[in-house]
Amino acid sequence: MNIEEMVREQAREAKASSRRLAVTPSPVKDAALRAMADALEENASAILAANAEDMEAAWKKGMPRAMLDRLRLDEKRILGMADGIRQTAMLPDPIGEGEMETIRPNGLEIRRVKVPIGVIGIIYEARPNVTADAAALCLKSGNAALLRGGSEALKSNRAISAILSFAAEAAGVPKGALQFIDSPSRDAVGVMMNCTGLLDVIIPRGGAGLIKRVVAESVVPVIETGAGICHTFVDEGADLDMALRIALNAKTSRPAVCNAMETLLVHERVAKDFLPKMAAAMRKKDVELRGDVATRAVVSDMAEATEEDWATEYDDLILSVKVVKNLDEAIAHINQYNTGHSETIVTNDLNHAHRFQREVDAAAVYVNASTRFTDGFEFGFGAEIGISTQKLHARGPMGLNELTSTKYLIFGEGQIRE
Amino acid sequence: MNIEEMVREQAREAKASSRRLAVTPSPVKDAALRAMADALEENASAILAANAEDMEAAWKKGMPRAMLDRLRLDEKRILGMADGIRQTAMLPDPIGEGEMETIRPNGLEIRRVKVPIGVIGIIYEARPNVTADAAALCLKSGNAALLRGGSEALKSNRAISAILSFAAEAAGVPKGALQFIDSPSRDAVGVMMNCTGLLDVIIPRGGAGLIKRVVAESVVPVIETGAGICHTFVDEGADLDMALRIALNAKTSRPAVCNAMETLLVHERVAKDFLPKMAAAMRKKDVELRGDVATRAVVSDMAEATEEDWATEYDDLILSVKVVKNLDEAIAHINQYNTGHSETIVTNDLNHAHRFQREVDAAAVYVNASTRFTDGFEFGFGAEIGISTQKLHARGPMGLNELTSTKYLIFGEGQIRE
C-alpha cells in the first residue's frame, strides 16, 4: 500500500470509529484514559528502548541539542505523560452540554448541544509526549485522532501509540479511534491536508515553518497555533518595580515558548528611570538587548533594533526595546507587529488599562501581569491542545471545550413551514 | 492599479477601519444602519436604473430565467432590503458580551468577551440583496466587510454599496468599513483568497461550484455554507398523515433552497401504506420520483434511483426514494450521503427519536418537523449570513453571534509565573 492509500484508509477508519466514539458514555472514556495511563507506566521499558533508538539515530544525524532534549524520554517524563492522561480523565466531559434552548412561537423546541468535532488530525514534530497528550484530549472530547509525528520520533511514537490504542480498545473505546501514521514519509502530511470529508480539522503543533505550510496548503480546515510575538508596555506612572518583575518573567522564565515577550515598549516619560535598571537586570540573565534610537540614547551599549526585529519571534534570550511617545503609539506598534497571541500593559491608569484591553487585537490582553500566563492550565482549563492565534472557532488556549462542535436538536409535533 | 493591488489596498483599508469599528459604540452602529436603510429607499430610483442595465445585459447574454429573477430588483425588493437592515439594527449587539469569568488561585481575574472577527470577505453571485444583507450584518457585529458580488450584478451592487457606504460614514462609522470590489474581473476572488493577515475569514455564498473552489483554494480561513442533501425518514409506527405533510413541505415549499429534502427514506413496514399516497401527492406537485428496487416494487412507474441520486442535491422538483430495513439503515444511509445540513425523522418511538438525534451527523436534526425550518430567522436569531455545514467555528444558521470571535481580558496586580 502506498502512503496515500495508507493515510486515507486510516482516516476512513478514524471516521467510522468517530461515529461510535461520539456516543460512547463518559465513564467508558474515563476508564479507558486511566487504563491508557497505567499501560504507559507498565510498558515504560519498551517505550524507553524505542526512544533510545530514536535518540541514537538523531544524535548521529547531528540533531541540535535543544531538539534532542525534546525527543528524549526518561522514566520521569513517562510518569508525567501518564499523570497528564489521568488528569484529563478527571476533567468534566463537555459532550452533550446544552448551550441554548428555546421554544419558538410555532412550538418547535430548539436546543444546541456540544458534540465532538469528529476526526482531528494533529501534525507535530519530534516530541513524543504530544502523542499521549493529543490522544488523551481527543478521546476525552469524543474525537477520533489521526496523529502524524516527526519522523525522528517514529519508534517512540509507534511504541506509545500502540500501547495507548491497545489499552483504549480493551477498555471499550471503539476500534480505530486512535490512528498513528507509522511512516517516516513527509508525503503523509500532504495526504492528510487533502482528506476533506474524512478529517474535520488539522491542528499543526510545531515551529513556524510547519504551521505556515499547513495553513497555506491544507484543504481541510486548520486551527493555527503557537506563533507569539508578545509585547510588554510600560506606561508612564507604572510601578517600575512591578514592571521590571513582569518584564523579566515574560522574557526569561522560559524564552523558547510562545507566550514569552519579544519586544518591550517603554513610555518616554519613564524611559530614563526604567531602561538602565531593566538593561542591567536583563543582562544578568544573559539577555541580548536591541534598541531603537531613543532607547540607545539612554542605554548606549546595545545593537540597533531594525524593522526585522519588531517582526521576529526570537524564542531566545534576545529582547528588542522601543521607546514610545504614548499609549496610542504603543497600541499601534503592537497591532502592527503582533501575532495575536498575548500582550500586557503595566500601568496605574485605569483609562489606559481599559483602552489597551479594548484596542489591542490579541487572544489575551493583560493588565499588570506577565504574558507567560497564557496557557490552558493557568487559565483553569485543566489541559491544552495548543494556543490558537486565529479568530475562528477558538482563540487563545484550547482546552476540551475548544475540541467540540455543536448540533441543533429540534423537537416538533408535525410543524411545517408556510 | 491592477486588480491585485486594488483588492489588497481595499483589504488594507478594511483592516485599518476594523480596528476603529471594533470599538464603535452600539448606538452609532444602529443609527448608521437606520440611515443606510433610509438611504436605500431614498435612492431607490438610482438603484433601479443601475439594475435595469444589469438586467438588460444579462438577458442579452442569455442568463437563465431563475438567475434573472434573482438579479432583478423592484421597488418592493428594495423596501425589503431596507426593512432587513432596520431589523438588524434592532437586534442586540453581541460585542462585549461576557462568556466566562474566573478568578484564579493566584488572584488573576480572567474574562472572555465577544469581539468582532475583524475583516470578513464575502464572495457571492448575482443577487444584489446580499450586498445589503451582508453589509448590515457585518456592521452590526463590528466587522469590516470586503464584498465581491457576481459580475452580472456589478452596476446594481456598485449603486447599493456606494449608497450604503456614504450613509454609514455620514452617521459616524469609520471610513472604509464597507469595501465593495468594483471590478468584473474573476481574478478578484483569487486575490481575496490569498489576503492572509488582512482578511480574517471568507464566507462564500452561492452555488456548489463557487463554494468548492473557495474551500479548496483559499489560504484565508473559510466558512463553508449552503450545501444541503437533506433527508426525511419515515419510521415504522409514524403518523403517516404527519409524515406526508412534512415530506411535502420539505420537498415542495421551496425546492431550490438548501434545507429542502432531496431523499426520502421509508421504513419497510410502512412502505406499502405510505409510498402510494406519497407518490400521488408528490406528483400533484409536479415532483419527479426516482426510487430504489423496493420502492419501485410498490410504486412501479418511476425511474430507478442510482448511486448518483443519493449523492445529488437536486435543488429542483426531483425526489429520490429508498426503502430501508430499520433505523440503523436509515442512519447509516444519511451519514454516508448527507452534507451535514438538516435531517428529520417522523416517528412515535421515543428511543428511535433519541437515537436519530444522537447518531445522525448534521447541523440540525429534527423529530417530527420539516427540515425547511433550518434558517436564522426561524431559529429566532433575527438575521442570517448563511448556514454553515462545517463543524468549526459555527454550525447551522449563522446569526450575529457567529460573526464574533473572543478575547481574554486579564487583570493582575503584578503576577508573574513561577
Pairing label, strands A261-267, A318-324:
parallel
Contacts of A219 in chain B (CB under 8 A): 215-216
pLDDT for the residue A61? 95
B336 CA: distance to closest CA in chain A (Å): 10
Contacts of B363 in chain A (CB under 8 A): 407-408
pLDDT in tens, B24-77: 999 999 999 999 999 999 999 999 999 999 999 999 999 998 889 989 999 999
Rounded CA-CA distance B109/A367 in Å is: 10
Find, in chain B, the residue whose alpha carbon is nearest to that of A112: B364
Rounded CA-CA distance B169/B167 in Å is: 6
pLDDT-based confidence at A382, cuts 50/70/90?
confident
* Judgement on whether residues A200 and A334 belong to the same structural domain of the protein: no
Q: How many CB pairs under 8 A join A and B?
A: 203
Side-chain half-sphere exposure of A32, counting CA atoms within 13 A = 30
Pairing label, strands B364-369, B386-388:
unpaired
Mean pLDDT of chain A: 95
For residue B339 the three cell numbers come to 452534507
Residues in chain A: 418
Q: Is residue B388 part of a domain?
A: no
Contacts of B393 in chain A (CB under 8 A): 392-393
DSSP alpha helices (H): ranges in A25-128?
Answer: 26-42, 44-60, 65-71, 75-90
Q: Is B126 an 8 Å CB contact of chain A? A: no
Is the CB of B407 less than 8 angstroms away from the CB of A365?
A: yes
Q: Is residue A210 part of a domain?
A: yes
pLDDT-based confidence at B341, cuts 50/70/90?
very high
- DSSP line for A101-129: EEE-TTS-EEEEEEEE-SEEEEEE-S-TH
Q: Which helix (H) or strand (E) holds A167?
A: helix A154-170
Q: What is the CATH number of the domain that holds A367?
A: 3.40.309.10
A181 CA: distance to closest CA in chain B (Å): 24
Contacts of B404 in chain A (CB under 8 A): none
DSSP class of residue B397 equals E
Residues in chain B: 418
Is the CB of B392 less than 8 angstroms away from the CB of A366?
A: no
Nearest-Å Rg of the Cα atoms of chain A is 24
pLDDT in tens, A103-120: 999 999 999 999 999 999
Confidence check: pLDDT of B248 > 80? yes
Taking CA atoms, A361 is separated from A94, A218, A376, B24, in Å, by 28, 26, 20, 15
Residue entry with cell 521590571: A244
Among A201, A372, A380, select the one facing B392 at the smallest CB separation.
Answer: A201
Helix, strand and coil in chain A, % to nearest 5: 45, 20, 35
Is the CB of A19 less than 8 angstroms away from the CB of B215?
A: no
* Judgement on whether residues B179 and B272 belong to the same structural domain of the protein: no
Nearest-Å Rg of the Cα atoms of chain B is 24
Q: Is residue B72 part of a domain?
A: yes
pLDDT for the residue A181? 97
Q: Is B391 an 8 Å CB contact of chain A? A: yes
Q: Which helix (H) or strand (E) holds A163?
A: helix A154-170
pLDDT in tens, B179-231: 999 999 989 999 999 998 899 999 998 888 888 889 888 989 999 987 899 99
Taking CA atoms, A388 is separated from A224, B166, B406, in Å, by 6, 37, 11
pLDDT-based confidence at A80, cuts 50/70/90?
very high
* Judgement on whether residues B162 and B259 belong to the same structural domain of the protein: no
Query: Phi, psi (5° rounding) for residue A304?
Result: -80, 135
User: Nearest Cα to A216, choosing from A226, A202, A229?
Assistant: A202
pLDDT in tens, B399-409: 999 999 999 99
Contacts of A391 in chain B (CB under 8 A): 117-118, 200-201, 405
Contacts of B215 in chain A (CB under 8 A): 196, 219
User: Nearest Cα to B371, choosing from B393, B338, B401, B322?
Assistant: B338
User: Nearest Cα to A223, choosing from A240, A244, A199?
Assistant: A199
Strand positions, DSSP E, A168-287: 178-180, 201-205, 230-234, 261-267
* Judgement on whether residues A195 and A134 belong to the same structural domain of the protein: yes
* Judgement on whether residues B69 and B155 belong to the same structural domain of the protein: yes
Q: Is residue A336 part of a domain?
A: yes
pLDDT for the residue B208? 81
Rounded CA-CA distance A86/A343 in Å is: 32
Taking CA atoms, A13 is separated from A36, A136, A141, A174, B377, in Å, by 20, 18, 18, 10, 38
pLDDT in tens, B65-80: 888 998 999 999 999 9
Q: Is A117 an 8 Å CB contact of chain B? A: yes
* Judgement on whether residues A192 and A321 belong to the same structural domain of the protein: no
Q: Which helix (H) or strand (E) holds B396?
A: strand B396-398
User: What angle separates helix B129-140 from helix B154-170, to the nearest 10 degrees?
Assistant: 30
Among B19, B249, B417, select the one facing A361 at the smallest CB separation.
Answer: B19
Q: Which helix (H) or strand (E) holds B146?
A: strand B144-148
Rounded CA-CA distance A165/A43 in Å is: 13
Q: Is residue A417 part of a domain?
A: no
* Judgement on whether residues A68 and A166 belong to the same structural domain of the protein: yes
pLDDT for the residue A278? 98
| The 3-state secondary structure of B6-46, one letter per residue | HHHHHHHHHHHHHHHHCCCCHHHHHHHHHHHHHHHHHCHHH
Query: Phi, psi (5° rounding) for residue B201?
Result: -160, 150
Share of chain B above pLDDT 70, in %: 100
pLDDT-based confidence at B254, cuts 50/70/90?
very high
Is the CB of A417 less than 8 angstroms away from the CB of B253?
A: yes
Reported ipTM = 0.94
Q: Is residue A168 part of a domain?
A: yes
Taking CA atoms, A340 is separated from A229, A361, B219, B411, in Å, by 8, 6, 18, 18
Taking CA atoms, B280 is separated from A377, B123, B277, B320, B345, in Å, by 62, 41, 5, 15, 21
Pairing label, strands A144-148, A98-103:
unpaired
CB contact at 8 A, B3 and B183: yes
Among B245, B395, B417, select the one facing A249 at the smallest CB separation.
Answer: B417
pLDDT for the residue B207? 81
- DSSP line for B289-336: EEE-HHHHHHS-SSEEPPHHHHT----SSEEEEEEESSHHHHHHHHHH
Q: How many domains in chain A?
A: 2
Contacts of B406 in chain A (CB under 8 A): 395-396
A202 CA: distance to closest CA in chain B (Å): 11
Across B233-251, average pLDDT:
98
pLDDT-based confidence at A215, cuts 50/70/90?
confident
Q: How many CB atoms lie within 10 A of CB A311?
A: 15
Confidence check: pLDDT of B342 > 90? yes
* Judgement on whether residues A139 and A171 belong to the same structural domain of the protein: yes
Query: Phi, psi (5° rounding) for residue A201?
Result: -160, 150
Domain containing residue B281: 230-373
Rounded CA-CA distance A142/A136 in Å is: 10
pLDDT-based confidence at B374, cuts 50/70/90?
very high
CB contact at 8 A, A11 and A18: no
Beta bridge mates, B409: A365, B111
Q: Is residue B385 part of a domain?
A: no
Taking CA atoms, B245 is separated from A219, A415, B242, B326, B370, in Å, by 40, 9, 5, 22, 9
Tell how far CA A6 is from the center of its chain.
28
For residue A326 the three cell numbers come to 504614548
pLDDT-based confidence at A208, cuts 50/70/90?
confident
Beta bridge mates, B180: B147
* Judgement on whether residues A245 and A293 belong to the same structural domain of the protein: yes
| Torsion region of A368: left, alpha or beta (phi above 0 gives left; psi -120 to 50 gives alpha) | left
Confidence check: pLDDT of B256 > 90? no
pLDDT for the residue B66? 83
Range with the poorest average pLDDT among A89-98, A211-220, B101-110: A211-220
Query: Phi, psi (5° rounding) for residue B394?
Result: -150, 140
Q: What is the CATH number of the domain that holds B205?
A: 3.40.605.10
User: Nearest Cα to A82, choosing from A133, A45, A48?
Assistant: A133
Q: Is residue A151 part of a domain?
A: yes
Rounded CA-CA distance A71/A153 in Å is: 7
Rounded CA-CA distance B55/A270 in Å is: 65
Q: Is A408 an 8 Å CB contact of chain B? A: yes
Instruction: Classify residue B414 as exposed, middle or buried by CB count within 10 Å of its CB (0-12, 13-18, 19+).
Output: middle
CB contact at 8 A, A163 and A46: yes
Range with the poorest average pLDDT among A279-283, A397-401, B218-222: B218-222
Confidence check: pLDDT of A217 > 80? yes
Confidence check: pLDDT of B1 > 80? no
Greatest alpha-carbon pair distance for chain A in Å reads: 79
- CA triple B8-B9-B13, angle to 5 deg: 115
Across A239-255, average pLDDT:
97
Which of residues 261 through 280 in chain A touch B, CB cutoff 8 A? none
Q: How many CB atoms lie within 10 A of CB B111?
A: 17
Side-chain half-sphere exposure of B310, counting CA atoms within 13 A = 14
pLDDT for the residue A209? 85
Tell how far CA A237 is from the center of its chain.
34
Rounded CA-CA distance A141/A384 in Å is: 12
Confidence check: pLDDT of A297 > 90? yes
User: Nearest Cα to B14, choosing from B122, B156, B159, B87?
Assistant: B122
Mean pLDDT of chain B: 95
* Judgement on whether residues B350 and B257 belong to the same structural domain of the protein: yes
Taking CA atoms, A28 is separated from A93, A180, A390, B170, B182, in Å, by 11, 22, 33, 60, 57
* Judgement on whether residues B122 and B258 belong to the same structural domain of the protein: no
* Judgement on whether residues A260 and A406 belong to the same structural domain of the protein: no
